[in-house]
Amino acid sequence: MTRKGVATRQRIVEGAAAEIRERGIAETTLDHVRARTGTSKSQLFHYFPDGKDQLLLMVARYEADRVLTDQQPQLGDLTSWPAWQGWRDRVVDRYLTQGMDCPLSGVIAQLGRTTPGAAAVVSELMTRWRSEIAAGIRHMQEIGEVDPGLDADRSAKALLAGIQGGVMVMLATGRIDHLEAALDMGIESLRR
C-beta closer to DNA: residue 41 or 191:
41
- Contact status: 117 vs DNA (CB under 7 A): no
Of 7 and 26, which CB lies nearer to its own copies in the complex structure?
26
| Spatial contact of 130 and 160, defined as CB atoms under 8 Å apart | yes
**Chosen residue from 14, 53, 70, 153 binding DNA by CB under 7 A:** 53
44-52, 76-84, 139-147, 184-192 -> range binding DNA (CB under 7 A) = 44-52
Q: Select from 48-56, 88-96, 129-137, 151-159 the region that touches DNA (CB under 7 A).
A: 48-56
Q: What are phi and psi of 82, to 5 degrees?
A: -60, -35
**Site for DNA, residues 58 to 97, rule: CB under 7 A:** none
Pick one of DNA, its own copies, none as the site partner of residue 53 (Cβ within 5 to 8 A by kind): DNA
Contacting residues toward its own copies, per CB under 8 A: 24-27, 100-101, 105-106, 108-110, 112-114, 119, 122-123, 126, 154-155, 157-158, 160-169, 171-174, 177-179, 181-182, 184-186, 188-189, 192
Q: What is the 3-state secondary structure (H, E, C) of the chain?
A: CCHHHHHHHHHHHHHHHHHHHHHCCCCCCHHHHHHHHCCCHHHHHHHCCCCHHHHHHHHHHHHHHHHHHCCCCHHHHCCCHHHHHHHHHHHHHHHHHHCCCCHHHHHHHHHCCCCHHHHHHHHHHHHHHHHHHHHHHHHHHHCCCCCCCCCHHHHHHHHHHHHHHHHHHHHHHCCCHHHHHHHHHHHHHHHC
Q: Which does 100 bind (CB under 5 to 8 A by kind): its own copies, DNA, none?
A: its own copies
Quick one: which segment of 49-57, 74-82, 113-121, 125-133 binds DNA (CB under 7 A)?
Answer: 49-57
Residue pair 88/24 in contact by the 8 Å Cβ criterion: no
- The number of beta carbons lying within 10 Å of the beta carbon of residue 125 is 18
Q: In the bound complex, what is the minimum distance in angstroms from residue 136's beta carbon to its own copies?
A: 16
Q: Which residues make up the interface to DNA (CB under 7 A)? A: 1-6, 8, 29-31, 38-43, 45-46, 51-53
